[in-house]
Amino acid sequence: MASVDSDLENVLVIERELWKDGPPHELFGRLRRECPVHWSERMTVYPEEDGFWSVTTAQDIHTISRDWQTYSSELGGVTAARVGFPLELLRAMFIGMDPPKHDRLKALFQSGFTPKRIADHEDEIRAITVGVLERLDGRESCDLVVDVAQPVVSRVIGSFMGIPAEDDAIWARLMNSTLGASDLDVNPYGIEGAMERDVPEIFERCRKLIAERRERPTDDFTSVLVNAEVEGEKLEEHEIVMGFFLLVAAGNDSTKATYCSGMRALIENPEQRQLLLEEPGLIPGAVEESLRMFPAFAHFRRTATCDTELHGQQIREGEKVIMWYASSNRDESRYEDPDRFDVRRTTEHQAFGAGGRHFCLGTALARLELRILFEETLARYPAMELAGAPAFVESPFINQLKTLPVRLIPAA
Ligand code: HEM
Protein backbone atom coordinates (compact mmCIF):
# COMPACT_ATOMS: atom_id res chain seq x y z
CA MET A 1 0.00 0.00 0.00
CA ALA A 2 1.17 3.54 -0.68
CA SER A 3 2.27 5.15 2.57
CA VAL A 4 -0.64 6.70 4.39
CA ASP A 5 -0.67 9.27 7.18
CA SER A 6 -0.79 7.33 10.41
CA ASP A 7 -3.94 9.15 11.54
CA LEU A 8 -5.75 7.73 8.49
CA GLU A 9 -4.12 4.36 8.94
CA ASN A 10 -5.66 4.02 12.39
CA VAL A 11 -9.09 5.35 11.51
CA LEU A 12 -12.01 2.95 11.96
CA VAL A 13 -14.50 4.09 9.34
CA ILE A 14 -17.42 2.51 11.20
CA GLU A 15 -16.86 4.34 14.46
CA ARG A 16 -20.05 5.41 16.23
CA GLU A 17 -18.77 8.93 16.87
CA LEU A 18 -18.13 9.54 13.17
CA TRP A 19 -21.73 8.80 12.14
CA LYS A 20 -23.69 10.89 14.63
CA ASP A 21 -24.59 13.54 12.02
CA GLY A 22 -24.80 11.32 8.97
CA PRO A 23 -21.90 10.09 6.85
CA PRO A 24 -18.41 11.42 7.66
CA HIS A 25 -17.98 13.42 4.43
CA GLU A 26 -14.72 15.07 5.42
CA LEU A 27 -13.11 11.74 6.18
CA PHE A 28 -14.42 10.27 2.92
CA GLY A 29 -12.89 13.21 1.01
CA ARG A 30 -9.49 12.46 2.57
CA LEU A 31 -9.81 8.74 1.87
CA ARG A 32 -10.66 9.39 -1.81
CA ARG A 33 -7.59 11.58 -2.18
CA GLU A 34 -5.08 9.86 0.10
CA CYS A 35 -6.12 6.23 0.55
CA PRO A 36 -8.97 5.20 -1.78
CA VAL A 37 -8.85 1.55 -0.67
CA HIS A 38 -8.52 1.76 3.11
CA TRP A 39 -8.35 -0.94 5.80
CA SER A 40 -10.26 -0.62 9.09
CA GLU A 41 -9.16 -3.14 11.67
CA ARG A 42 -12.62 -3.55 13.22
CA MET A 43 -15.91 -1.71 13.86
CA THR A 44 -16.71 -0.15 17.17
CA VAL A 45 -20.44 -0.33 16.50
CA TYR A 46 -20.27 -4.09 15.94
CA PRO A 47 -17.08 -5.15 17.77
CA GLU A 48 -17.61 -8.83 17.01
CA GLU A 49 -17.34 -8.21 13.25
CA ASP A 50 -14.10 -8.52 11.25
CA GLY A 51 -12.20 -5.61 9.75
CA PHE A 52 -12.98 -4.40 6.24
CA TRP A 53 -11.77 -2.54 3.18
CA SER A 54 -13.41 0.83 2.47
CA VAL A 55 -13.66 1.69 -1.21
CA THR A 56 -14.51 5.33 -1.75
CA THR A 57 -14.11 6.38 -5.41
CA ALA A 58 -16.78 6.09 -8.10
CA GLN A 59 -14.43 4.31 -10.50
CA ASP A 60 -13.40 1.59 -8.03
CA ILE A 61 -17.00 0.98 -6.97
CA HIS A 62 -17.98 0.71 -10.62
CA THR A 63 -15.24 -1.93 -11.08
CA ILE A 64 -16.37 -3.98 -8.07
CA SER A 65 -20.07 -3.84 -8.95
CA ARG A 66 -19.48 -5.30 -12.38
CA ASP A 67 -17.20 -8.11 -11.25
CA TRP A 68 -19.37 -10.53 -9.29
CA GLN A 69 -16.92 -13.37 -9.93
CA THR A 70 -14.32 -11.61 -7.74
CA TYR A 71 -16.64 -9.71 -5.42
CA SER A 72 -19.42 -11.94 -4.13
CA SER A 73 -22.74 -10.92 -2.57
CA GLU A 74 -23.34 -14.49 -1.40
CA LEU A 75 -20.21 -15.41 0.54
CA GLY A 76 -20.65 -13.04 3.45
CA GLY A 77 -23.81 -10.96 3.08
CA VAL A 78 -24.27 -7.47 1.65
CA THR A 79 -23.79 -5.15 4.62
CA ALA A 80 -20.70 -4.38 6.68
CA ALA A 81 -22.24 -6.00 9.73
CA ARG A 82 -24.74 -8.81 9.46
CA VAL A 83 -26.59 -7.60 12.52
CA GLY A 84 -27.99 -10.89 13.65
CA PHE A 85 -29.53 -12.18 10.41
CA PRO A 86 -28.12 -15.66 9.82
CA LEU A 87 -26.27 -15.92 6.53
CA GLU A 88 -28.61 -18.65 5.40
CA LEU A 89 -31.56 -16.21 5.48
CA LEU A 90 -29.62 -13.43 3.76
CA ARG A 91 -28.85 -15.89 0.99
CA ALA A 92 -32.54 -16.59 0.52
CA MET A 93 -32.94 -13.01 -0.81
CA PHE A 94 -31.63 -12.44 -4.33
CA ILE A 95 -29.72 -9.39 -3.10
CA GLY A 96 -27.62 -11.95 -1.22
CA MET A 97 -27.11 -14.36 -4.12
CA ASP A 98 -24.58 -14.61 -6.93
CA PRO A 99 -25.41 -15.64 -10.49
CA PRO A 100 -26.81 -17.84 -11.86
CA LYS A 101 -29.35 -18.19 -9.02
CA HIS A 102 -29.54 -14.42 -8.55
CA ASP A 103 -30.38 -13.79 -12.18
CA ARG A 104 -33.17 -16.35 -12.29
CA LEU A 105 -34.91 -14.94 -9.24
CA LYS A 106 -34.37 -11.31 -10.15
CA ALA A 107 -35.92 -11.88 -13.57
CA LEU A 108 -39.04 -13.09 -11.80
CA PHE A 109 -39.32 -9.89 -9.76
CA GLN A 110 -38.33 -7.61 -12.62
CA SER A 111 -41.50 -8.22 -14.59
CA GLY A 112 -43.49 -6.39 -11.88
CA PHE A 113 -41.13 -3.43 -11.68
CA THR A 114 -40.64 -2.29 -15.27
CA PRO A 115 -41.04 1.47 -15.86
CA LYS A 116 -44.24 0.74 -17.81
CA ARG A 117 -45.83 -1.38 -15.05
CA ILE A 118 -44.80 1.19 -12.44
CA ALA A 119 -46.16 4.13 -14.48
CA ASP A 120 -49.59 2.48 -14.28
CA HIS A 121 -49.53 3.22 -10.53
CA GLU A 122 -49.05 6.98 -10.86
CA ASP A 123 -52.66 7.92 -10.05
CA GLU A 124 -52.76 5.57 -7.07
CA ILE A 125 -49.46 6.88 -5.66
CA ARG A 126 -50.61 10.48 -6.13
CA ALA A 127 -53.88 9.74 -4.34
CA ILE A 128 -51.98 8.19 -1.41
CA THR A 129 -49.63 11.19 -1.23
CA VAL A 130 -52.41 13.77 -1.44
CA GLY A 131 -54.41 11.88 1.20
CA VAL A 132 -51.48 11.96 3.62
CA LEU A 133 -50.74 15.66 2.95
CA GLU A 134 -54.41 16.57 3.42
CA ARG A 135 -54.21 15.23 6.97
CA LEU A 136 -51.91 18.18 7.69
CA ASP A 137 -54.59 20.76 6.82
CA GLY A 138 -54.92 23.23 9.68
CA ARG A 139 -51.61 22.28 11.30
CA GLU A 140 -48.78 24.78 11.61
CA SER A 141 -45.95 22.30 11.87
CA CYS A 142 -45.17 18.62 11.53
CA ASP A 143 -42.34 16.12 11.35
CA LEU A 144 -41.83 15.30 7.66
CA VAL A 145 -40.34 11.89 8.51
CA VAL A 146 -43.19 10.70 10.71
CA ASP A 147 -46.18 12.60 9.32
CA VAL A 148 -45.51 12.50 5.58
CA ALA A 149 -42.70 10.22 4.39
CA GLN A 150 -43.45 7.17 6.54
CA PRO A 151 -47.20 6.89 5.87
CA VAL A 152 -46.75 7.48 2.12
CA VAL A 153 -43.97 4.92 1.58
CA SER A 154 -45.66 2.37 3.85
CA ARG A 155 -48.93 2.57 1.94
CA VAL A 156 -47.28 2.50 -1.50
CA ILE A 157 -45.20 -0.62 -0.82
CA GLY A 158 -48.05 -2.00 1.31
CA SER A 159 -50.49 -1.79 -1.59
CA PHE A 160 -47.94 -3.43 -3.92
CA MET A 161 -47.50 -6.31 -1.50
CA GLY A 162 -51.12 -6.65 -0.39
CA ILE A 163 -50.56 -5.52 3.21
CA PRO A 164 -53.84 -4.22 4.72
CA ALA A 165 -53.64 -0.45 5.35
CA GLU A 166 -54.36 -0.91 9.06
CA ASP A 167 -51.11 -2.89 9.40
CA ASP A 168 -48.89 -0.19 7.83
CA ALA A 169 -47.72 1.21 11.15
CA ILE A 170 -46.79 -2.25 12.47
CA TRP A 171 -44.73 -3.02 9.36
CA ALA A 172 -43.06 0.39 9.52
CA ARG A 173 -42.00 -0.29 13.11
CA LEU A 174 -40.68 -3.75 12.23
CA MET A 175 -38.68 -2.49 9.25
CA ASN A 176 -37.30 0.54 11.06
CA SER A 177 -36.17 -1.46 14.06
CA THR A 178 -34.47 -4.21 12.05
CA LEU A 179 -32.75 -1.92 9.53
CA GLY A 180 -31.97 0.88 11.97
CA ALA A 181 -31.17 -1.56 14.76
CA SER A 182 -28.07 0.34 15.92
CA ASP A 183 -30.04 3.50 16.85
CA LEU A 184 -31.71 3.35 20.25
CA ASP A 185 -34.36 5.94 19.29
CA VAL A 186 -35.47 3.81 16.37
CA ASN A 187 -34.98 0.54 18.19
CA PRO A 188 -35.03 0.77 21.99
CA TYR A 189 -34.39 -2.97 22.39
CA GLY A 190 -30.79 -2.98 21.09
CA ILE A 191 -29.51 -4.98 18.13
CA GLU A 192 -30.00 -8.40 19.73
CA GLY A 193 -33.35 -7.43 21.19
CA ALA A 194 -34.63 -6.38 17.76
CA MET A 195 -33.54 -9.67 16.25
CA GLU A 196 -35.12 -11.75 19.00
CA ARG A 197 -38.32 -9.75 19.16
CA ASP A 198 -38.96 -8.38 15.69
CA VAL A 199 -37.55 -10.91 13.24
CA PRO A 200 -39.87 -13.72 14.45
CA GLU A 201 -42.82 -11.30 14.22
CA ILE A 202 -41.88 -10.42 10.63
CA PHE A 203 -41.81 -14.11 9.76
CA GLU A 204 -45.09 -14.87 11.48
CA ARG A 205 -46.93 -12.01 9.78
CA CYS A 206 -45.41 -12.88 6.43
CA ARG A 207 -46.39 -16.54 6.69
CA LYS A 208 -49.95 -15.55 7.52
CA LEU A 209 -50.20 -13.33 4.44
CA ILE A 210 -48.67 -16.03 2.26
CA ALA A 211 -51.16 -18.62 3.53
CA GLU A 212 -54.04 -16.22 2.76
CA ARG A 213 -52.76 -15.63 -0.78
CA ARG A 214 -52.31 -19.36 -1.38
CA GLU A 215 -55.97 -19.77 -0.59
CA ARG A 216 -57.24 -16.63 -2.32
CA PRO A 217 -54.76 -15.13 -4.82
CA THR A 218 -55.19 -11.43 -5.67
CA ASP A 219 -53.30 -9.17 -8.06
CA ASP A 220 -50.70 -8.10 -5.47
CA PHE A 221 -47.02 -8.99 -5.56
CA THR A 222 -47.26 -11.48 -2.69
CA SER A 223 -49.63 -13.53 -4.87
CA VAL A 224 -47.08 -13.35 -7.69
CA LEU A 225 -44.39 -14.72 -5.36
CA VAL A 226 -46.63 -17.46 -4.02
CA ASN A 227 -47.46 -18.71 -7.51
CA ALA A 228 -44.12 -18.04 -9.19
CA GLU A 229 -42.10 -20.83 -10.70
CA VAL A 230 -38.39 -20.76 -11.39
CA GLU A 231 -37.45 -23.46 -13.89
CA GLY A 232 -40.65 -25.36 -13.23
CA GLU A 233 -40.41 -25.25 -9.42
CA LYS A 234 -42.37 -23.13 -6.99
CA LEU A 235 -40.39 -20.98 -4.55
CA GLU A 236 -39.81 -22.44 -1.12
CA GLU A 237 -41.59 -20.75 1.76
CA HIS A 238 -38.45 -19.13 3.20
CA GLU A 239 -37.64 -17.74 -0.28
CA ILE A 240 -41.10 -16.17 -0.51
CA VAL A 241 -40.79 -14.75 3.00
CA MET A 242 -37.36 -13.27 2.32
CA GLY A 243 -38.46 -11.94 -1.08
CA PHE A 244 -41.34 -10.22 0.66
CA PHE A 245 -39.03 -8.88 3.39
CA LEU A 246 -36.54 -7.56 0.81
CA LEU A 247 -39.20 -5.58 -1.04
CA VAL A 248 -40.92 -4.20 2.05
CA ALA A 249 -37.57 -3.22 3.62
CA ALA A 250 -36.20 -1.64 0.44
CA GLY A 251 -39.48 0.16 -0.24
CA ASN A 252 -39.75 1.48 3.30
CA ASP A 253 -36.42 3.04 4.05
CA SER A 254 -34.99 4.21 0.82
CA THR A 255 -37.63 6.52 -0.61
CA LYS A 256 -38.41 7.95 2.81
CA ALA A 257 -34.73 8.78 3.35
CA THR A 258 -34.31 10.46 -0.02
CA TYR A 259 -37.50 12.52 0.23
CA CYS A 260 -36.62 13.86 3.68
CA SER A 261 -33.00 14.69 2.89
CA GLY A 262 -34.08 16.28 -0.40
CA MET A 263 -36.75 18.43 1.29
CA ARG A 264 -34.24 19.52 3.89
CA ALA A 265 -31.80 20.52 1.12
CA LEU A 266 -34.54 22.54 -0.61
CA ILE A 267 -35.37 24.34 2.64
CA GLU A 268 -31.70 25.09 3.21
CA ASN A 269 -31.16 26.19 -0.40
CA PRO A 270 -34.18 28.42 -1.10
CA GLU A 271 -32.80 29.60 -4.45
CA GLN A 272 -32.85 25.97 -5.63
CA ARG A 273 -36.40 25.56 -4.35
CA GLN A 274 -37.38 28.74 -6.19
CA LEU A 275 -36.11 27.20 -9.45
CA LEU A 276 -38.48 24.26 -8.93
CA LEU A 277 -41.42 26.49 -8.06
CA GLU A 278 -40.88 28.50 -11.24
CA GLU A 279 -40.18 25.47 -13.40
CA PRO A 280 -41.71 22.24 -11.98
CA GLY A 281 -40.17 20.38 -14.95
CA LEU A 282 -36.92 20.56 -12.96
CA ILE A 283 -38.33 18.36 -10.17
CA PRO A 284 -36.96 15.08 -11.65
CA GLY A 285 -33.54 16.79 -11.59
CA ALA A 286 -34.04 17.64 -7.92
CA VAL A 287 -34.92 13.99 -7.27
CA GLU A 288 -31.67 12.84 -8.92
CA GLU A 289 -29.63 15.42 -7.03
CA SER A 290 -31.19 14.26 -3.74
CA LEU A 291 -30.35 10.66 -4.63
CA ARG A 292 -26.76 11.69 -5.41
CA MET A 293 -26.07 13.79 -2.35
CA PHE A 294 -28.00 11.67 0.13
CA PRO A 295 -27.91 8.04 -1.05
CA ALA A 296 -30.39 6.18 1.16
CA PHE A 297 -27.93 3.34 1.69
CA ALA A 298 -24.50 4.61 2.66
CA HIS A 299 -22.88 1.35 1.61
CA PHE A 300 -23.25 -2.17 0.31
CA ARG A 301 -20.73 -4.92 0.85
CA ARG A 302 -19.04 -7.67 -1.15
CA THR A 303 -16.64 -10.43 -0.11
CA ALA A 304 -13.51 -11.24 -2.15
CA THR A 305 -13.72 -14.72 -3.67
CA CYS A 306 -9.95 -14.87 -4.31
CA ASP A 307 -6.79 -12.86 -3.73
CA THR A 308 -7.02 -9.80 -5.93
CA GLU A 309 -5.79 -6.25 -6.41
CA LEU A 310 -7.78 -3.01 -6.47
CA HIS A 311 -6.27 0.42 -7.08
CA GLY A 312 -2.83 -1.04 -6.27
CA GLN A 313 -4.02 -2.56 -3.01
CA GLN A 314 -3.83 -6.32 -2.33
CA ILE A 315 -7.11 -7.80 -1.11
CA ARG A 316 -7.18 -11.34 0.25
CA GLU A 317 -9.74 -14.06 -0.38
CA GLY A 318 -12.57 -13.84 2.16
CA GLU A 319 -12.02 -10.18 3.08
CA LYS A 320 -14.89 -7.72 3.31
CA VAL A 321 -15.05 -4.95 0.75
CA ILE A 322 -17.37 -2.02 1.50
CA MET A 323 -18.55 0.21 -1.37
CA TRP A 324 -19.29 3.60 0.15
CA TYR A 325 -21.92 5.20 -2.11
CA ALA A 326 -22.08 8.09 0.36
CA SER A 327 -18.52 8.83 -0.75
CA SER A 328 -18.54 7.95 -4.46
CA ASN A 329 -21.52 10.23 -5.09
CA ARG A 330 -19.37 13.16 -3.97
CA ASP A 331 -16.23 12.08 -5.82
CA GLU A 332 -14.61 15.32 -6.99
CA SER A 333 -13.13 13.61 -10.05
CA ARG A 334 -16.70 13.17 -11.27
CA TYR A 335 -18.65 16.11 -9.86
CA GLU A 336 -17.77 19.77 -9.86
CA ASP A 337 -18.23 21.22 -6.39
CA PRO A 338 -19.71 17.92 -5.13
CA ASP A 339 -21.07 19.25 -1.82
CA ARG A 340 -23.26 21.82 -3.59
CA PHE A 341 -26.96 20.89 -4.03
CA ASP A 342 -27.70 21.74 -7.66
CA VAL A 343 -31.01 20.64 -9.19
CA ARG A 344 -29.69 21.33 -12.70
CA ARG A 345 -26.85 18.82 -12.41
CA THR A 346 -27.11 15.95 -14.89
CA THR A 347 -24.17 13.65 -14.03
CA GLU A 348 -25.10 10.05 -13.21
CA HIS A 349 -24.83 8.86 -9.60
CA GLN A 350 -24.47 5.56 -7.75
CA ALA A 351 -27.34 5.84 -5.24
CA PHE A 352 -29.00 2.81 -6.86
CA GLY A 353 -25.69 0.95 -7.13
CA ALA A 354 -23.05 1.18 -9.83
CA GLY A 355 -24.66 -1.03 -12.47
CA GLY A 356 -23.94 -4.72 -12.65
CA ARG A 357 -26.08 -7.59 -11.46
CA HIS A 358 -27.37 -6.04 -8.23
CA PHE A 359 -28.48 -2.68 -9.63
CA CYS A 360 -31.60 -1.59 -7.73
CA LEU A 361 -34.84 -3.26 -8.78
CA GLY A 362 -36.99 -0.39 -7.54
CA THR A 363 -35.56 2.59 -9.47
CA ALA A 364 -38.71 3.31 -11.47
CA LEU A 365 -40.93 3.06 -8.40
CA ALA A 366 -38.58 5.17 -6.26
CA ARG A 367 -38.27 7.89 -8.92
CA LEU A 368 -42.03 8.06 -9.46
CA GLU A 369 -42.80 8.16 -5.73
CA LEU A 370 -40.17 10.84 -5.13
CA ARG A 371 -41.33 13.02 -8.03
CA ILE A 372 -44.92 12.90 -6.79
CA LEU A 373 -43.89 13.57 -3.18
CA PHE A 374 -41.81 16.59 -4.21
CA GLU A 375 -44.51 17.93 -6.56
CA GLU A 376 -47.36 17.67 -4.07
CA THR A 377 -45.37 18.94 -1.08
CA LEU A 378 -44.00 21.96 -2.95
CA ALA A 379 -47.41 22.83 -4.40
CA ARG A 380 -48.97 22.95 -0.91
CA TYR A 381 -46.06 24.23 1.14
CA PRO A 382 -43.75 26.28 -1.10
CA ALA A 383 -42.25 28.25 1.80
CA MET A 384 -41.78 25.47 4.37
CA GLU A 385 -39.12 26.21 7.01
CA LEU A 386 -37.16 24.17 9.51
CA ALA A 387 -38.83 24.23 12.94
CA GLY A 388 -36.12 22.38 14.87
CA ALA A 389 -32.92 20.41 14.41
CA PRO A 390 -33.07 17.47 12.00
CA ALA A 391 -31.37 14.31 13.33
CA PHE A 392 -29.94 11.28 11.56
CA VAL A 393 -30.56 7.64 12.37
CA GLU A 394 -27.26 6.57 13.90
CA SER A 395 -26.23 3.97 11.38
CA PRO A 396 -23.38 3.38 8.93
CA PHE A 397 -25.85 1.66 6.60
CA ILE A 398 -29.12 3.54 6.33
CA ASN A 399 -28.41 7.19 5.59
CA GLN A 400 -31.63 8.60 6.87
CA LEU A 401 -33.15 11.35 9.01
CA LYS A 402 -35.23 10.15 11.93
CA THR A 403 -36.73 13.57 12.51
CA LEU A 404 -37.26 16.65 10.32
CA PRO A 405 -39.45 19.19 12.13
CA VAL A 406 -40.89 21.85 9.79
CA ARG A 407 -43.21 24.86 9.88
CA LEU A 408 -45.62 24.21 7.05
CA ILE A 409 -46.59 27.74 5.84
CA PRO A 410 -49.29 26.78 3.27
CA ALA A 411 -49.45 28.37 -0.20
CA ALA A 412 -51.58 31.52 -0.25
C1 HEM B 1 -34.52 6.01 -3.16
C2 HEM B 1 -34.79 4.78 -3.30
C3 HEM B 1 -33.83 3.61 -3.41
C4 HEM B 1 -32.47 3.56 -3.31
C5 HEM B 1 -31.50 4.71 -3.06
C6 HEM B 1 -32.08 2.18 -3.50
C7 HEM B 1 -30.78 1.71 -3.51
C8 HEM B 1 -30.39 0.44 -3.83
C9 HEM B 1 -29.02 0.00 -3.98
C10 HEM B 1 -27.79 0.85 -3.76
C11 HEM B 1 -29.04 -1.31 -4.34
C12 HEM B 1 -27.83 -2.13 -4.77
C13 HEM B 1 -27.26 -3.00 -3.77
C14 HEM B 1 -25.92 -3.55 -4.17
O15 HEM B 1 -25.19 -2.94 -4.95
O16 HEM B 1 -25.61 -4.60 -3.69
C17 HEM B 1 -30.42 -1.71 -4.39
C18 HEM B 1 -30.86 -2.97 -4.68
C19 HEM B 1 -32.17 -3.34 -4.60
N20 HEM B 1 -33.28 -2.50 -4.44
FE21 HEM B 1 -33.24 -0.53 -4.18
N22 HEM B 1 -33.21 1.43 -3.68
C23 HEM B 1 -34.29 2.27 -3.64
C24 HEM B 1 -35.63 1.92 -3.76
C25 HEM B 1 -36.08 0.65 -3.91
C26 HEM B 1 -37.48 0.27 -3.95
C27 HEM B 1 -38.65 1.22 -3.85
C28 HEM B 1 -37.48 -1.08 -4.09
C29 HEM B 1 -38.63 -2.03 -4.25
C30 HEM B 1 -39.72 -1.99 -3.70
C31 HEM B 1 -36.11 -1.54 -4.15
C32 HEM B 1 -35.71 -2.85 -4.27
C33 HEM B 1 -34.40 -3.28 -4.41
C34 HEM B 1 -34.03 -4.68 -4.59
C35 HEM B 1 -34.98 -5.84 -4.62
C36 HEM B 1 -32.63 -4.71 -4.71
C37 HEM B 1 -31.75 -5.94 -4.94
C38 HEM B 1 -31.37 -6.02 -6.39
C39 HEM B 1 -30.42 -7.16 -6.69
O40 HEM B 1 -29.74 -7.66 -5.78
O41 HEM B 1 -30.35 -7.58 -7.85
N42 HEM B 1 -35.28 -0.46 -4.04
N43 HEM B 1 -31.23 -0.63 -4.09
Taking the centre of ligand 1 as the mean of its atom positions, its distance from the CA of residue 95, in whole angstroms, is 9
How many percent of the chain have pLDDT more than 70?
Answer: 93
Atom of ligand 1 nearest to the CA of 96: 40
Judge if the beta carbon of residue 365 lies within 6 A of ligand 1.
yes
Atom of ligand 1 nearest to the CA of 106: 41
Q: Which residue has the higher pLDDT, 177 or 296?
A: 296
Atom of ligand 1 nearest to the CA of 258: 1
Band (285; pLDDT cuts 50, 70, 90)? very high
Q: Which residue has the higher pLDDT, 282 or 243?
A: 282
Judge if the beta carbon of residue 243 lies within 6 A of ligand 1.
no
Judge if the beta carbon of residue 352 lies within 6 A of ligand 1.
yes
When mean pLDDT is compared over 208-217, 223-232, 299-308, 390-399, the highest value belongs to 299-308
The predicted structure's pLDDT at residue 199: 81
Atom of ligand 1 nearest to the CA of 369: 27
Reply yes or no on whether the pLDDT at 6 is more than 90.
no
Atom of ligand 1 nearest to the CA of 295: 5
Reply yes or no on whether the pLDDT at 185 is more than 90.
no
When mean pLDDT is compared over 11-25, 192-206, 262-276, the highest value belongs to 262-276
Whose alpha carbon is nearest atom 43 of ligand 1?
A: 360
Mean pLDDT of all residues in 370-382: 98
Reply yes or no on whether the pLDDT at 218 is more than 60.
yes
Q: Where are the domains of the chain?
A: 6-407
Taking the centre of ligand 1 as the mean of its atom positions, its distance from the CA of residue 340, in whole angstroms, is 25
Reply yes or no on whether the pLDDT at 291 is more than 90.
yes
Phi and psi for 57 in degrees, rounded to 5?
-100, 155
Band (202; pLDDT cuts 50, 70, 90)? confident
The predicted structure's pLDDT at residue 348: 93
Judge if the beta carbon of residue 108 lies within 6 A of ligand 1.
no
Taking the centre of ligand 1 as the mean of its atom positions, its distance from the CA of residue 254, in whole angstroms, is 8
Band (81; pLDDT cuts 50, 70, 90)? confident
Mean pLDDT of all residues in 388-403: 92
Judge if the beta carbon of residue 180 lies within 6 A of ligand 1.
no
Domain 6-407 has CATH 1.10.10.10: no
Judge if the beta carbon of residue 294 lies within 6 A of ligand 1.
no
Reply yes or no on whether the pLDDT at 1 is more than 60.
no
Mean pLDDT of all residues in 321-341: 98
